[in-house]
Amino acid sequence: MKKLFALLACLVLSALMAQEPPKMEKPGEHHQHLKMMAGTWDFKSKFHTVPGQIVEMNGVEVARMQPGGFWLISDFTGNITGMPFHGHAVMGYEAHKKKYIGTWTDSFGSVLVTTTGTCSKDGKVTTLIGKGYDPMQKREITYKQIYRIKDANTRTYHMYDVQGKNEKLIMESVSKRRVRKLNLNTKIKGPFTHEIDGTFGATYYLGGPQQARPPEGRFKPGTRIRLVRNAGSYCVVQSETGITAHVATSALKLIKKH
């Protein structure tokens, strides 16, 4: 009998070991859309919560994708009417629900706001709706949030108080990406190893090969560059105009030595 149990145990163990490990979820198209909002942004906000009065706030948002590539985590700092402000937001896409989800907390209250919604096909317009308690008005508010990506370095945000069919704008914001200042008059001496090939040149990315968001610029055809590092489908290069960036490897043409 003991031998029979031992044999059965070995068979079960062998069967378990033969099974493939469970497949982990991988980031999809919508998670790539979130990457377009990653970066460091300077924002200017206007609040319309007090009738006839506009309250302004300037600040900085630092947004990064959580390791794994599923969640965009943003931290906000600013100053409003002389008081320091801190906010924290998380946005993601729940594939099983086919919905975007967002949460918000800040240093002005104990309220956690949760919203859900969808985005446009190109990922440049995200609309979220949710409810949260407003301690100033002492009532629960239905919020509608609209995030728009205008271009590679510009985003806008609008938040509305929804009451039935009426939508009242209570906040608007414009964010500008902080990009490395480039001295385009800088001339780099050779030797150069490659030049930009193709009729239309090649787009480049300053912060890494983040194809999910628009590029920071475009090299003209024939621009001479020095290869810094080959990273497979993308390379790190330094152009003759002093720009160090990532470009597609397929856009490089080797300069023949005479």
CATH number at residue 172: 2.40.128.20
How does pLDDT run across 31-61, given as a tens digit for each residue?
988 988 988 999 999 999 888 899 999 999 9
Specify whether 78 is located in the same domain as 136: yes
Specify whether 56 is located in the same domain as 149: yes
103-108 LR contacts (CB < 8 Å, sep 24+) = 104/132, 106/76
Residue 76 lies in a domain: yes
Specify whether 212 is located in the same domain as 127: no
Residue with tokens 């990406």: 177
pLDDT higher for 211 or 117?
Answer: 117
User: What was the pLDDT predicted at 21?
Assistant: 67
How does pLDDT run across 151-200, given as a tens digit for each residue?
878 999 999 999 999 999 999 999 998 866 545 555 666 689 999 998 88
User: What was the pLDDT predicted at 170?
Assistant: 94
Specify whether 106 is located in the same domain as 150: yes
How does pLDDT run across 82-138, given as a tens digit for each residue?
899 999 999 999 999 999 999 999 999 899 999 999 999 888 999 999 999 888 788
The two tokens of residue 200 are: 């239309």
Specify whether 132 is located in the same domain as 204: no
User: What was the pLDDT predicted at 160?
Assistant: 97
Lowest mean pLDDT among 20-24, 72-76, 78-82: 20-24
Final residue belonging to a domain, choices 142, 177, 212: 177
User: What was the pLDDT predicted at 177?
Assistant: 87
> Is 60 exceeded by the pLDDT of residue 149?
yes
Radius of gyration of the chain (CA): 25
Residue 70 lies in a domain: yes
Specify whether 198 is located in the same domain as 172: no
> Is 70 exceeded by the pLDDT of residue 142?
yes
> Is 70 exceeded by the pLDDT of residue 11?
no
Give the separation between CA 122 and CA 184, rounded to whole angstroms. Answer: 31
Give the separation between CA 129 and CA 100, rounded to whole angstroms. Answer: 10
Single pTM value for the model: 0.68
Specify whether 224 is located in the same domain as 140: no
> How many alpha carbons lie under 13 Å from residue 157 in its C-beta half-sphere?
19
pLDDT higher for 61 or 214?
Answer: 61
User: What was the pLDDT predicted at 178?
Assistant: 82
User: What was the pLDDT predicted at 35?
Assistant: 87
Q: What is the 3-state secondary structure (H, E, C) of 87-144?
A: EEEEEEEECCCCEEEEEEEECCCCCCEEEEEEECCCCCEEEEEEEEEECCCCEEEEEE
Specify whether 138 is located in the same domain as 204: no
User: What was the pLDDT predicted at 207?
Assistant: 67
> Is 70 exceeded by the pLDDT of residue 19?
no
Give the separation between CA 179 and CA 236, rounded to whole angstroms. Answer: 17
Q: Residue 152: which domain range?
A: 29-177
Q: Are 149 and 158 in contact (CB under 8 A)?
A: no
Tally of domains within the chain: 2
Residue 222 lies in a domain: yes
Mean pLDDT of 133-154: 89
